[in-house]
A and B are shown apart, each in its own frame.
Chain A
Amino acid sequence: MTTLPLSLPTAVAAADAAVAPAQGMAGVAWLLVALPLAGAALLLLVRRPLERVGPIIATVLSWGSFVVGAILLVEMIGRSPEARAQHLTLFSWLPVGTFSLDAGMLIDQLSVTFVLLITFVGSLIHVYSLGYMAHDPDRRKFFAFLNLFVAAMLLLVTADSYLLLYVGWEGVGLASYLLIGFWNWNPPYASAANKAFIANRIGDFGLGLAIMAMFATFGTVTITGVDRAAQAAGDQAGTMLTVIGFLLLLGACGKSAQFPLQSWLGDAMAGPTPVSALIHAATMVTAGVYLVVRAHPVYDHAPVAALAVTIVGAITLTMGAIIGCAKDDIKKALAASTMSQIGYMMLAAGLGPVGYAFAIFHLVTHGFFKAGMFLGAGSVMHGMGDRVDMRTFGGLSGKMKITWATFLCGWLAIIGFPFLSGFFSKDKIIEAAFVGEGWRPWVFGLTTMLVAGLTAFYMSRLFFMTFHGKRRWLEDDHPHESPASMTVPMIILAVGSVALGGVLQAGGFLDWLAPVTGGHAGAAHHEPVLPIPVITGGTLLLVALGVGLAWARYWRADVPVTAPAGSWLTRAAARDFYQDDVNHGLLVVPGNALVEAATLADDSGVDQGTDGVGRAVLGASTRLARLQNGFVRSYALTMLLGVVLVLAAVWMVQS
């Protein structure tokens, strides 16, 4: 609970009154974070005895978190919709004068959704890693980092204040950095980790400023407190809300690899594939979406910031899709796809109450099918000597049947094949994008619709180049199916890819989320500018076109083993639209110039000055050092001189 400074006009008393204190299992919700955190600490501190059993301990602890989350869900479903959100106060964290902040957990529909996504997918990937990393000498460290990530991510989504969320936010950033650079004996991998970390820092800076702005404006940083304050002071604090919205957006852009901070995600594929699946596809990169949805009361009253979120989402989803068309690296193509799909979510989150629930819905389904496809890509790499160039794959469907089948499910899900997961979630976003007045529904709606077709093209390209067409393997390739510890998680995720969307849709997931997301029921009052069947039909048509084009070019036709030069668009997309060059020109070059100028000033000004002082001291001390001649007599003389001087002083004072 927050004690607010009385001087703040927007102080909201009893801000958390709406959220009931924790009862039942929610009282031990801290186990969610504590279990994997203990695992990480154990594996990092106890080294040698855990080299072999450590990974299994980590996996068990991760599943333990999942069990706690599942029990929480069951309990929550058992209560009435109004009483589902619960608040658990852990300890007094920052008692500073009149301001005091408790560390606590907010267990509501949104956080439980995330908890289940994170723990379930995360635990599956733990299992997968048991097989994938079986021969890595550092696997104890790898599982420690994975556990650390799960703990930090759970802390992020269950935090009851933005400050505690920030702790988790930094924690996942750290875990991401450690895992991208896990094979840091390879300098490019290490610099990829640095790149991800630095790009994330820019976003983190934005989030930090946003928290400070919240405190300055509302006098509180708890989530419920900010919600109340934003709703109460919506119109007066409009400018501040917009500022906070933009700062939060900056944070979300960094973490979720949205334009203009998207450049790190492609390089982050340097990490082991399970890491890419867990952190850079299913969970961490969606934290930005979570943040925007979590802070929706701010955006509700800051339409400019919300529009910015939508625009960022639109730009990123288009850009990611185009980049995805040009990549030959299977993991980087999937990374571009992730970027694009998160763009969808951001766009939906920026649309306002009409889109929040759809953003989360797509986030959950995407977490399943994208993680499944990443694991499939890892399985392919496992069988193809850790190679990632799709041009040397082809025709793998016969050799890796389970991988092929699971990847097929993921592929169908992401392109929005009717009645699979992606169809339900993505179609809703496209429909929501068509809602509104003026130019916006046309621009955003048509963008999402066209990119749906583009998505179908690049994902089909990826799928066909890898599993179908002619075999373009290298001579010493012996593709084989992966062990059960890898295929079982893939199968489970594939089942989720196929069925989860329908299950959630039928189970009333959107209504279930409504108390948190401010009620998508409002969507019922806003009809899209086009009839829904037209939208769905048009989308499916574009998807079919995309698949057909990909089939013609990458299955039926021969795929050259070396990439053709391509058009300027292809070249630009293959180079990530010159993101790195732009960053280099805009940031690195001026930064270097600044550093050189500073170095020059330092060398010629500061150093000369300090060197002068040093030389003066040196000269003086060289002369003084002659007094230190090493003769005992001299030192005795000095002592006696001191005695005489003291005596003389006393004598003069007393006379």
Chain B
Amino acid sequence: MSLMNYVYLAIVLFAIGAATVLVRRNAIIVFMGIELMLNAVNLAFVTFARMNGSLDGQAVALFVMVVAAAEVVVGLAIIMTIHRSRRSASVDDANLLKL
């Protein structure tokens, strides 16, 4: 089996994550889509690290995880705040981008 299969799997997961972000209206699920995209990229990093025989890709993947963890914390806090003030977790309700 070619290692490229892992890469194709990462691409499929990434595309599904992107579709989740675009299609879903529940902010929590949208956020999970973002996490899925980050994880897909991590998979690609790990696979490429193996292809190159070096650990650098894994190190970068680790940093991606850290950043993703920080992002989750802040993002979920924001979702909580919005839900508290608007009683809604729908991204369509937070429409102040247009007056």
Contact = CB atoms under 8 A, between A and B. Distances in A.
Interface string B78-94: 00000000000001101
Contacts of B70: none
A569 B15 CA distance: 100
Interface in A612-629: 628-629
A635 B97 contact: yes
B3 interface: no
B22 A630 contact: no
B36 interface: no
A204 to B, nearest CB: 53
B61 interface: no
A630 B18 contact: no
B25 interface: yes
A593 interface: no
Nearest to A629: B98
A633 interface: yes
Nearest to A631: B92
B73 interface: no
Contacts of A635: 97
A586 interface: no
B51 to A, nearest CB: 21
Nearest to B98: A630
Contacts, number: 27
Nearest to A637: B22
B19 to A, nearest CB: 9
A633 B91 contact: yes
B98 A628 contact: yes
Interface SS of B by simple majority: loop
Interface in B34-74: none
A632 interface: yes
Interface string A240-276: 0000000000000000000000000000000000000
Given A637-B22, A640-B18, A631 B96 contact: no
Contacts of A650: none
Interface in A68-84: none
Nearest to B93: A631
Nearest to A635: B97
A630 B25 contact: no
B21 interface: yes
A630 B95 CA distance: 5
B42 to A, nearest CB: 19
Contacts of B98: 628-630
A562 to B, nearest CB: 70
Contacts of B22: 633, 636-637, 640
A569 to B, nearest CB: 74
A630 B90 CA distance: 13
Interface string B16-40: 0010011101000000000000000
Contacts of A629: 95, 98
Given A640-B18, A640-B22, A633 B92 contact: yes
A632 B96 CA distance: 10
Nearest to B92: A631
A636 B22 CA distance: 7
Interface string A451-490: 0000000000000000000000000000000000000000
Contacts of A631: 91-92, 95, 97
B91 A630 contact: no
Contacts of B91: 631-633
Contacts of A636: 21-22
A643 to B, nearest CB: 9
A632 B23 CA distance: 11
Contacts of A633: 21-23, 25, 91-92
A578 B18 CA distance: 85
Interface of A: 628-633, 635-637, 640
Given A630-B95, A633-B23, 10 more contacts: A628-B98, A630-B98, A631-B92, A632-B91, A633-B21, A633-B22, A633-B91, A633-B92, A635-B97, A636-B21
A-B residue pairs, 3 tightest by C-beta: A630-B98, A630-B95, A630-B97
8 contacts: A631-B95, A631-B97, A632-B97, A633-B22, A633-B25, A633-B92, A640-B18, A640-B22
